[in-house]
Amino acid sequence: MSPDASSVSAVSAGNEADRSPLTTTRQLLADLQAYHARVSVLQEIATAIGRELTLDGVLQVVGRRVKWLLDFDHCSIYLNRAAGSSDFIPLFGSSSGQTIFKTASSSNLIEQVIQTKQPYLTQNDPQPEMGAGYRSYLIIPLESEGDVLGTINFASQAPHHYRQEDLRIGHLLTMHLAAAIRNANRFAEVNRLYAELAQTYDDLRRAEQLRDDLTRMIIHDLRNPLNVLLGSLEILELMLDAPRQAENRTKWLHDALSAGRGMVGLIDDLLEVSKADDQKLQPNLAPVDLVKVLAEKENFYRAQAEQEQKMITMQAVEGLPPVMADVRLMSRVIDNLINNAFKYTEAGGCIALKIEEKERGLQVQVQDNGQGIPPEYHHQIFDKFVQVTDTAGAPLRKGIGLGLAFCRLAVEAHQGKIWVESVPGQGSTFIFTLPL
Ligand code: ADP
């Protein structure tokens, strides 16, 4: 940028003839000394802002010292920001914003300077009519590496206040200021990227930690039922030649089967949840008679209920229509809810399955009268690995906190909803709907 001589009219020459050569020389010397003093201040400012890394720091330095450089009643910085926004930062005087830089005809002098990349300097009469009693203006673009970052604006209530010299000094100031602002912007960008990187690193560490915890939990959760399975099979083997042990054989067979099914269920949950993470959980839709599915479940879990001295019941409204669903996924959702009802209910407890039509959908309920869930967990338990903790903060661990996450993913993949209604100490009702 170079100060545009054409936008600046000649400084009032005065009556040259009245001046003797000595007076003129003295005047020139005084002007030169004043100019030299301003250049020294400018160097000081340049050194000080060169040390600042942040925009705030740069603006504070300029705000504190610019008065030594130029005289004004108002000084401000206007900065173009990313995505079309801008900032008007008053450094001195009126903070009434950029309105004072608007002429009566409403053309905005700052925008004009930014667009033309030329400074604006008021000198001629009549002065443009602008706000707050200001009569002289000096607006200089802040240009760095070919871009106009904004402007520095000076206003004075005195008429004819700014001269070519002021423009020159202002121009020198903007060269340093624009470079410092650009550096501060780069520094802020580097800081932002660094913070992003640090956050990514933290996320990665947390994910690694979670993976390690999960691996440990899965090994533990698979080892237990595997031991039950092997133990039951070994006992069964011993009983093969003992015909009078027929009744006990059924019990051990049941234990082995339920341990094996538990393991498969856990592995399936893991696979399904990781599929959903990769957005590959696509339900295979076909008409499904959910009443029939629930009745089969009631039948299947009756033996377990008897063994654990619990009760399982089912209640269905007659003539319910089939629903478009993935029968495999729905069957596992119901299995997960029933298994939880068993896990979190003491002997003597009751598990009730219900199905009815509601709001153009089918609504399935799995109700238990077990330990219940505190209200603050009602939403969270559908997130991965969330488990209700005891008063000391330790999870009441009977699983790994994947079952309900799978249920929500599967139900939502059917455009349905799932939630829980529960009172601690009284029991829980898990409800899900599927649209008809
Ligand atoms: P988990 O494998 O731990 O059972 P889930 O995702 O199936 O994982 O359940 C998450 C948590 O929700 C459980 O750890 C438990 O604290 C709570 N929860 C789930 N179902 C019930 C229920 N029927 N009664 C009480 N608490 C339950």
- Structure confidence at residue 124 (pLDDT): 57
Residue 381 CA, ligand 1 centroid: distance in Å: 7
Rounded to the nearest angstrom, the gap between the alpha carbon of residue 428 and the centroid of all alpha carbons in its chain is 33
Per-residue pLDDT tens over the stretch 242-301: 777 777 788 888 888 888 888 887 888 777 777 776 666 788 899 999 999 999 999 989
Asked if residue 372 has pLDDT above 90, the reply is yes
* Average pLDDT of the residues in 184-210: 91
Ligand 1, pocket-test mutation among 221, 266, 335, 340, most atoms within 8 A of CB? 340
Lowest mean pLDDT across 74-78, 230-234, 281-285, 420-424: 281-285
pLDDT digits (tens, 9 = 90+) for 347-365: 999 999 999 999 889 999 9
Q: 229 pLDDT exceeds 70?
A: yes
> Could you give the angle at the alpha carbon of 390 between the alpha carbons of 398 and 217, nearest 5°?
35
The chain-wide mean pLDDT, for the chain, equals: 84
Cα distance between residue 221 and residue 179, in whole Å: 62
Angle at 385 between CA 384 and CA 388, to 5 degrees: 115
Residue 218: pLDDT band (50, 70, 90) is confident
Instruction: Give the pLDDT score at 371.
Output: 92
349 Cβ below 6 A of ligand 1: no
| 219 or 231, which is more confident | 231
Q: Are strands 417-423 and 361-368 parallel, antiparallel or unpaired?
A: unpaired
**What type of residue sits at position 15?**
N
State the distance from the centre of ligand 1 to the C-alpha of 430, rounded, in angstroms. Answer: 11
CB 388 within 8 A of CB 401: no
Pick the residue whose CA is nearest to atom 20 on ligand 1.
340
Residue for token pair 């019990």:
251
Q: Is the CB of 418 under 6 A from ligand 1?
A: no
Top mean pLDDT of 20-34, 261-275, 304-318, 399-413 is at: 304-318
Q: Confidence class of residue 37 from pLDDT cuts 50, 70 and 90? A: confident
pLDDT of residue 159: 84
Per DSSP, 18 falls in state G
- Specify which residues 422 forms β-bridges with: 428
Q: What's residue 45's pLDDT?
A: 92
Measured from the CB, is residue 365 less than 6 Å from ligand 1?
no
Share of the chain above pLDDT 90, in %: 45
Mean pLDDT over 25-35 rounds to 87
> Can you say whether the dihedral through the CA atoms of 301, 307, 308, 313 is positive or negative?
positive
The per-residue pLDDT for 268 is: 81
Q: Parallel, antiparallel, or unpaired: how do β-strands 361-368 and 323-325 relate?
A: unpaired
Mean pLDDT along residues 89-100: 70
Q: Is the CB of 416 under 6 A from ligand 1?
A: no
- Say if residue 64's pLDDT is above 50: yes
